[in-house]
Structures are given as structure tokens and as C-alpha cells.
Amino acid sequence: MSRFLFVVKFLVIAVVISTASFNAFSQSGGMKGYDKTLEAIEPYNVSFSVGLAGDTPPAISRLILAESRGIRNSSLSPNGSYVAYVSMLTGKYQLWVQPTDGRQAIQLTFGSGVRFYAWSPDGEDILYSSDNNGNEQESYYLINLEKFSEKEVLTAVKGGFRVFGGFVSNNTILFASTERNKMDFDLYLTNLQNSSTEMIYEGRMGLSVSSVSPDGKWAIMKESIGEDSDSLYLFNIQKYTLNTISSPERRANHSDAGFAWAMDSSGFYFATNKQQEFQNLAYYSLSDGMKWIEKASHDVERVKLCKGDKYLAWTSNVDGYSQLRVKDLHENKNIDVDGLPRGVWRINCEAMASHLLIETKGSSDPGSLYTWNFNGDVEMLFSAGLAGVPKQSIVEPKSVRIKARDGVILQGLLYLPQRKNNTPPPAIFRVHGGPTAQSRPYFDPTTQYLVNQGIAVFKSNVRGSTGFGHTYVTLDDREKRLDSVRDLVDMHEYLSDEGIIDGDRVAVAGGSYGGYAVNAVLANYPGHFAAGVSLFGVADWVTALKVASPMLKASDIIEYGDINDPKWLAFYQQYSPIRQAQNINVPVLYSHGVMDPRIDIAETEIMVKTLRENNIEAPFIRMPDEGHGWKKRENRMFYALEEVKFLKRVLGDKKPSE
């Protein structure tokens, strides 16, 4: 019998790879550039062993390869003949198309990676965007499927953050951008044939476009109200006028589930939590206004109209898992859908397509595709597989609810090692970003690696997380910010007191807002966690709020307060983690991308410098060719190896300092 050992080797350097004539202006490390004198670890000429197929425990590199086989952001072509999706199979997020009859998929893009894409109304072209190594300032490209040719239709503009709205016609697109003054989102029309672009509406900070009606006459626009909510507007594309659909006094979300237009453009389905706790299904008629379709005690996460307005399909988020509902609007009856694996689902359909597309993700599913013809069982179109990772090694999470010291019920997902010992295992707490986000049961290479190494993983949904109602998501606003940080301590104490984890060997990790939470809990509650892992997190809210990207600034005012107001300036001068950094007395692994446009790399650099000055171990991983998160597989592998090496070392028998 032959045995195969695969070794993947990468030379990782900061190189800008372009797709077409990409205007490769770059941001050299935040507002002022990164500190080249600060000692940092950078990936360079590193080898990764993925081990043997079937190895238990699996190698972290093989788990990451399994993740890269999954698909994301799938959508049907207008006639349903093809599925487009994004995959990291080649090492970067590239665009693929696959015929729905099961024939072989075709890779369409080969450059620096894809940020978004959209089918043209006739299905002959796909518009996509690409940025410069994560700086989020995009160029737009149009690729013709029949000719397999592409052209750049919009060059990136420095300071121009773009939000695609939709196709007005086969040859015209609508988008919002900050390129006029690097702050306000104005509305633009671009002719794809000659790239001529016209600003048709001068906007304001936080105002962007979400959807265009099938007849090209209307656009749905939203204005951010905090991290979790928005006001909704209807824009007349012919008259350039803006009218309010919904701007309630108590803030509400109207846009997370998307918008499903009727074929005749007379109205659309959406979900909102206006004047209630959860985002429920509603319909807005352009002539008669809004009406509720269904109310329930969970959020609708995506809604679609299918097959000539005959079927209404929507998914709901129930304790982190998706549930699918389909209603025959002509017969006024519900239809059961069977055969889908448990997990998180994303649905898509088109008016002229004969089937519904379901993208599935789960603890053992990096991202697969199913189709359903509105009758009978679903059929698998694409299976991601696990790249040789034994399925029996995959750990499913358990949903855990914990009462905080002030009575608020918290929730999280607990992954426990399958190998049983006489003593509780060490653990790592993962804090999601946002803060308006939710830890859900996705395939996570690092989590599965750690539990197979005997380390428990707890993915917390502290107050401020989405998925648990409007009240819960507002419990960390402004002055209540540190209440969510304290939740990590209450969760730690509960799991430790119950003997589920070894309370003396617990690390806390998170990225973006989660990186802030790591800094904050270690600074405000020393003695509880044995180590920290902070990825591109905030150290000083004063500087972070001042230099945030335009869309973040618009939402930050509600979530954190206006940093230009003396009240909030004084508050964050006192309560930012850097002000209490002298209390951090455990090792912390830091990391940041040089190209990050959301959180300046200086936020991480100041924490590293301060801890090192205090003789606290603070290794720093600097990614020269990444932005807000790692988008390249070789960087993900390099970082994962460094993180798990750090965690396995610090979660030995050593206890946190008192």
C-alpha cells in the first residue's frame, strides 16, 4: 500500500497581484504608516506539512485546506442554468461558475481575489470587484462568460469605499461611493460599455444603496443607525428623489435579510424588527405601504421570491441554526423541505429559474450546495468534503446558556475534546467581532484542531450579539460597553465552577471588536485568563473612532457615542484598554494587517510596545499584504500555526498571575 505525505510550501512576501490594469495605490499601514522599528514576526519562506489523509488528530494545515474547499456567496444565473460562487480553492477568494446540471465548475478570476460579484440581468456577464491586498477600495471589472473576456470598468480611487447597489439595465449599474470627499456616500450611475460615470445624488455619511427594482426605476437605500440598525428609503432613479420608507424613533433593522422584489416592481419582501424584538417577515407595497407577513420569536435571516413570484422562501436563525420555510403564494400553502444537513444556510433563487439554491455550512461542512425544485427532496450539486480530515474527528458544539451576575441570560457554543480525562481540559474563549455579530456553528479549522489536541473552545455570544432580539443587541451600547466585557468573566466562572473547564488554564482570543474585548478583559479583570490572543483590535477608542472608515464612523456614533462630543471623549480617555494596560500581566499574542482600513495598525502597535515596556510577553505577527483579516490561504496557515503553538505553550500547567 502506498503512503503519501504532502508538504505545501509557500514563499510569502508582500506582492500586489493585479487582475487587469489595477490601479495599485496602497495604504502603507493605517493613517501614518506602520512602525518598521517594532520587532515583529512576518511570514516568509515557510513550509507547512498537511500530514496524511485520515490522520487523527488532523494537522491544522489540512484543516485549513479543507476549509478552502468550501464555497461562499453562491447565486443562480437569471435563468437558473449556472451557479456562481466564491472559493479559496486556489489560495485566494476567486470567482467560479458551475452548470446546475452537474457539469464541471470553471474558474473565472485569477488575480488578487474577489470581494463581491453580481450577475447582469441577461446572465451574459458578471460584474465583480477586487481591492489592493485588503484595503477595501475597490476596482470594478466585467467578465463575459461566453467570450471569457474581462475589462476594467471602474478604477479604484484612493479614499473611495464603494457599495454596489445593482444593475439598472444590462449596461448600467448603480453604486454608492465616498470618492468625492472620502466621507459621504454619494450615488453614481456607470455605463458599462464606455465606463462613463455620473454622480446623481449627493449623499451623506452612512447612506448607501442596497437593491434595485427589476424595472430599473427604483433603488432601496439604507442609512446606518448604529451597528445593528438602519433607516430605509426609496430612491427614484429617473427623478433622483429620495423618500422615507421607515425611520422609526426606536432604531430598527430593515436590511439584513435582503430584499425580494416582485417581478412587476410593485413592492418587495424584507424583514424588520420595527417596534418589536425580532426581525420578522414583511412586505412593502410602493402604493400601499408595509404589512406584516409573519411574526415569530426569532430573526428571519434571508428572504427570496422564486419562479415568477410563485414561491416565497426564507430562512430563520433559531439558536444559531438555520430553518427553511417555503410558501406557495398561488396556492397559499406551506411546503416542507427535507434532506438538508443541520447548520447555517444561505438561499438563492431567480424569477426565471425552476429551482431553489441552498448553500450549507456546518461544523463538518466547509460549504456545500444543494438544489430543490419545490417538490420532493433536495439534490446535492456540490460537496466540499473534508480533504482527508476524518469526519469522526469533528466535534459538534453544544449550546450553553449562562446567567450573568446582573441576571442577563448569555449564550455560547461549547466544543469539548472527545478524549476524556480525569481532570477538566484547558480552554480558549473566542469573542466574535462586530460587536453586532453571532458565533454560529461553522466549520472552523482552529477550533477543530484545538479540541483534537485536548483544549476546549467556547465561542461566546456576550450581550450586544445579534440573534437574540433587539434588547439583547443594545445591552452593550455606549456606557454599557464594559458590561459585555464582564460577561466573559461570568462565563469563565460558570464553566470553571461547574468543572467543565480548568479555570486556571483559560485563554481569551478575538479579532476586530473581539480583539478589543481581549485587551479590555485582560486589563479590567486580571487574574481570570492565563493568556490572550488579540487580532487587529482596538487599544484606544479615542484614536480608533477618529480614523475609522466612513461606513464604520456612521454606525459608531450610536454604538459608541460621538468621539467629538467632550462627554464621550472623556469616557474613552478613561476606559480604553491602553489606559489600563498596566494591569495586563499575562502573555498576549498580537497580530495586524498592514493594509487594514478599519482599525489602524497603530492600535496593535501601541499595545505591543506598552506590554513589552512592562516586561510582559507580547509577540507580534505583522501581515504586510493583508487588511482587516487574512484573505490569503498561505497567510491563514502561517498565522494558525503561530497561534496554536502559542496557545499550547501558554495553556500548560502555568496559572495566571494574581
pLDDT in tens, 267-318: 999 999 999 999 999 999 999 999 999 999 999 999 999 999 999 999 999 9
- pLDDT range class, residue 570, cuts 50, 70, 90: confident
pLDDT surpassing 70 at residue 469: yes
Please, are residues 368 and 359 in contact by the beta-carbon 8 Å criterion?
Answer: yes
Of 54, 84, 78, 77, the residue nearest 66 (C-alpha) = 54
pLDDT at residue 341, as a whole number: 95
**CA-only gyration radius of the chain, Å:** 24
- pLDDT range class, residue 558, cuts 50, 70, 90: low
pLDDT at residue 377, as a whole number: 82
The three-state secondary structure class of 273 is coil
Q: What is the mean pLDDT of residues 263-267?
A: 97
Per residue in 22-59, pLDDT (tens digit) is: 333 334 445 568 999 999 999 987 778 899 999 999 99
Cell of 140: 470594478
Please, are residues 262 and 289 in contact by the beta-carbon 8 Å criterion?
Answer: no
Of 26, 208, 185, 155, the residue nearest 597 (C-alpha) = 26
User: Cα dist. 492→98, 489, 650 in Å?
Assistant: 46, 5, 17
Per residue in 85-116, pLDDT (tens digit) is: 999 999 999 999 999 998 999 999 998 889 99
Percentage of residues in the chain with pLDDT exceeding 70?
93
Cell of 122: 441577461
Does the pTM surpass 0.95? The reply is no
pLDDT at residue 548, as a whole number: 67
pLDDT at residue 545, as a whole number: 80
- Omega prior to 57 cis, within 30 of 0: yes
pLDDT at residue 656, as a whole number: 40
pLDDT at residue 17, as a whole number: 27
pLDDT at residue 552, as a whole number: 59
Q: What are phi and psi of 551, to 5 degrees?
A: -65, -35
Please, are residues 455 and 531 in contact by the beta-carbon 8 Å criterion?
Answer: no
Chain-wide mean pLDDT for the chain? Answer: 90
DSSP code for 45: S
pLDDT surpassing 90 at residue 478: no
Per residue in 378-409, pLDDT (tens digit) is: 999 999 999 999 999 999 999 999 999 999 99
Q: How many residues does the chain have?
A: 658
Per residue in 491-515, pLDDT (tens digit) is: 999 999 999 999 999 999 999 999 9
What residue type is 628 in one-letter code?
H
pLDDT at residue 550, as a whole number: 61
What is the SS3 string spanning 446-463? HHHHHHHCCCEEEEEECC
DSSP string, 396-419: PPEEEEEE-TTSPEEEEEEE--SS
pLDDT at residue 110, as a whole number: 94
pLDDT at residue 544, as a whole number: 82
Percentage of residues in the chain with pLDDT exceeding 90?
77
Q: What are phi and psi of 480, to 5 degrees?
A: -90, 10
C-alpha 52/C-alpha 62 separation (Å) is: 9
C-alpha 10/C-alpha 43 separation (Å) is: 9
| Residue 430, strand partner residues | 459, 509
pLDDT at residue 30, as a whole number: 52
pLDDT at residue 460, as a whole number: 97
pLDDT at residue 48, as a whole number: 82
pLDDT at residue 485, as a whole number: 96
Q: What are phi and psi of 590, to 5 degrees?
A: -110, 155
Q: What are phi and psi of 493, to 5 degrees?
A: -65, -40
Domains recognised in the chain with CATH numbers: 391-650 (3.40.50.1820)
Of 311, 377, 401, 375, the residue nearest 348 (C-alpha) = 311
| Residue 270, strand partner residues | 282
Strands 588-593 and 620-623: parallel
Of 189, 119, 192, 129, the residue nearest 161 (C-alpha) = 129
pLDDT at residue 351, as a whole number: 84
Q: What are phi and psi of 460, to 5 degrees?
A: -85, 145
Per residue in 223-247, pLDDT (tens digit) is: 988 788 999 999 999 999 999 999 9
C-alpha 147/C-alpha 149 separation (Å) is: 5
Cell of 311: 414561491
